[in-house]
Amino acid sequence: MMEKTLTENVLEAVKTLYGKEADPSKIQVQETRKDFRGDLTVVVFPLLRYSGKLPEQTAEELGEYIRENNAQIGNYNVIKGFLNLEISNAAILDTFNKLIKHDPGFTSADHSNDYTTLVEYSSPNTNKPLHLGHIRNNLLGYSLARILSTCGHKVYKTNIVNDRGIHICKTMLAWKLYGKGSTPAETGVKGDHFVGDYYVRFEKEYRKEINELKSQGLSQEEAAERSSLMSQARELLRKWETGDKETVDLWKRMNEWVYEGFDTTYNALGVDFDKIYFESETYKPGREIVRKGLDDGVFYKKDDGSVWVDLSSDGLDEKLLLRADGTAVYMTQDLGTAVLRYKDYTFDHQYYVVGNEQDYHFQVLKIILGKLGYEWSEGIHHFSYGMVNLPEGKMKSREGKVVDADELINTMLSTAADMSGELGKLNDYTGEEKKSVYRKIGLGALKYFILKVDPRKNMMFNPAESIDFNGNTGPFIQYSYARIKSVMRKAADMGLVPADDTDGIELNAKERSLVNILRAFDTLIISAADELNPAIIANYVYELSKEFNQFYHDFSILGEENNMVRMFRLALTEYTGKVIGKAMWLLGIDMPERM
């Protein structure tokens, strides 16, 4: 707001002083850097072409003009070609008084068009438990859903479960061969891990078999062809596709075990979905869509009967859509899912939270939907994010080099419990209350750690170093919040009510910068949505918390003698708490009242 007014001021100034129409894009208003006096800075270099004068002189003239014509600007100073403007005390107070009239995170403007928007995230396979990569995915998706909904979208969170395919059949086979009828309930193993173990078992036995065949002089390819385990797995897939009762029953049973396990993990992570889709239900509609596309001449059939689409006019390759035997591939299912979802929701936008390894796939998906004549394909977006790497390198599920989601969450929770126990600040809490706080802190640390990095970038996860509760971390922000809550409780005990309108007091530097940071929140949410980047929120809330901690350290709130100032500081404290709380909510992080 303030920035916009200033841009107009500069435009006027250039016109009045130099008689020229300035190009608005040449006017740069930015926040004044910390080590200079002022709140906002106009960079005058680009304006020299209008003034024909030296930078300092131009800045002086503009500064003088702005001070006279904009009541919100108090003082200014010029350093080289930078015009640093100080917002007047009254204007800061006025901004703050307006700010606290409504809760933070109220984003009006053109972004609140009541779009119907789908956010798909998680997308697990049912043959293994969730790992760290899924955690990043889930956290990004959940946060994106909250950011978009705050921007006025009607958001539905969806999940697509890959519950069919050869990998599931391998798992079923291993269980049949080696499971001896055991179950998660009976063994006490969490369902998804139970099933995952059989997937690992299959891979192990399969490798063993291959090695045996190779030792008999067969090549890798020949061994793979001769593998009895693999052919049994394929046989199961064939049976599943033809609806063989025994196979389908087992498939259902094992998937149920997995879903129970997933539910526990989702619950522990604190994410949820409005609707879950299953690929076993979308691959058939997908196949129909491909067949129809074939009839309409959008696709073509090769001699072997497989169906393809030619994307060379889009600068891409040919892409397979249906195998020669008529079975579905990944793209087939995704076409089916997309169309099904549009039928269900008539969405304006759909965001797929999927790793950047699938950039190409989603590019193709969107183009194909467009070719099929679905106008809504324009609203399809791939929220592409980078991989999570470990100090040892890439995560590899086949080699067991993964960070298991359940294990990680549990480590975070117990570390939080240990640390809280040592500090002993919650000794009067009941066991349940303590547990709830530990959970918030442990998960807060994990979520913040992952969300604070730019989603597009690959990130490094060092299990030992990542469990930190000091510095730029979730618990640091939660701690700032808990302090605020503590102050507010004390204030209530003292019968103090925060000022709802403050006038005529002189603000100190910390108060000024806090208000400046607070007023930036709403536009920040919009840019986080535009750029699909929760990290923007994370970095912001850290900066705000840090600033508040300095303010808290340097000045007394409740002990302030001037009552007007005290009530203002209380209001500032309260509102800061609201912004911190809302920002963390946007990240999907719960906040403790005490810690």
Partner RNA sequence: GGUUCAGUAGCUCAGCUGGAUAGAGCAACGGCCUUCUAAGCCGUAGGUCGCAGGUUCGAAUCCUGCCUGAAUCACCA
Please give the residues from 26 up to 45 whose contact with RNA meets the rule CB under 7 A. Answer: 28, 32-33, 35-36, 38, 41, 43, 45
- Residue 174 or 416 with smaller CB distance to RNA: 416
383: left (phi over 0), alpha (psi -120 to 50) or beta: beta
Please work out the total of residues on this chain that contact RNA, with binding judged by CB under 7 A.
90
Q: Is 453 in the site for RNA (CB under 7 A)?
A: yes
Rounded Cα–Cα distance for residues 124 and 300 (Å): 32
User: Is 359 near RNA (CB under 7 A)?
Assistant: yes
**DSSP letters of 187-217?**
HT--HHHHHHHHHHHHHHHHHHHHHHHHHTT
Q: Are strands 300-301 and 40-43 parallel, antiparallel or unpaired?
A: unpaired
Q: Output the smallest distance, CB 114 to RNA, in A.
A: 26
306 binds RNA (CB under 7 A): yes
To the nearest whole angstrom, how small is the minimum distance from the Cβ of residue 246 to RNA?
23
The CA distance from 573 to 570, in Å, is: 5
Rounded Cα gap, residues 426 and 122, in angstroms: 35
Closest CA to 160 of 334, 342, 332, 349: 334
State the Cα–Cα distance between residues 477 and 584, nearest whole angstrom. Answer: 9
Residue choice 192, 279, 511, 574 for contact with RNA (CB under 7 A): 279
Which residue number, 12 or 454, has a Cβ lying nearer to RNA? 454
Q: Does 498 bind RNA (CB under 7 A)?
A: no
Sign of the CA dihedral with 259 first, then 185, 247, and 173 last: positive
479 makes contact with RNA (CB under 7 A): yes
Give the count of beta carbons closer than 10 Å to the beta carbon of residue 306: 16
* 470 CB-side CA count, 13 A: 1
Site residues for RNA, window 158-217 (CB under 7 A)? 162, 165-167
Q: CB of residue 389 vs RNA: minimum separation in angstroms?
A: 8
Residue 535, interface with RNA (CB under 7 A)?
Answer: yes
In whole angstroms, the minimum distance from the beta carbon of 215 to RNA comes to 25
Residue 311-350 contact track with RNA, rule CB under 7 A, x = bound = ------x--x--xx----xx--x-----------------
Under rule CB under 7 A, residue 401 binds RNA: no
The CB-based long-range contact list for 298-307 (8 Å cut-off, 24+ gap) reads: 298/371, 298/372
The answer to whether 251 touches 243, Cβ cutoff 8 Å, is: no
Minimum distance, C-beta of residue 187 to RNA, in the bound complex (Å): 27
Choice between 89 and 549, CB closer to RNA: 549
Pinpoint the alpha helices (H) of 503-555: 509-519, 521-530, 534-554
Considering the complex, state which of residue 155 and residue 524 has its C-beta at the smaller distance from RNA: 524
Q: Contacts with RNA in 54-113 (CB under 7 A)?
A: 79-82, 84
- Residue 375 or residue 493: which is nearer to RNA going by CB? 493
Residue 382 CB, nearest distance to RNA (Å)? 11
Q: Nearest Cα to 51, choosing from 42, 59, 41?
A: 59
> Is 361 in contact with 330 (CB distance < 8 Å)?
yes
Q: Between residues 41 and 107, which has the closer beta carbon with respect to RNA?
A: 41
Q: Which is nearer to RNA, 485 or 578 (CB)?
A: 485
Q: Which is nearer to RNA, 90 or 329 (CB)?
A: 329
Nearest CB to RNA, comparing residues 223 and 328: 328
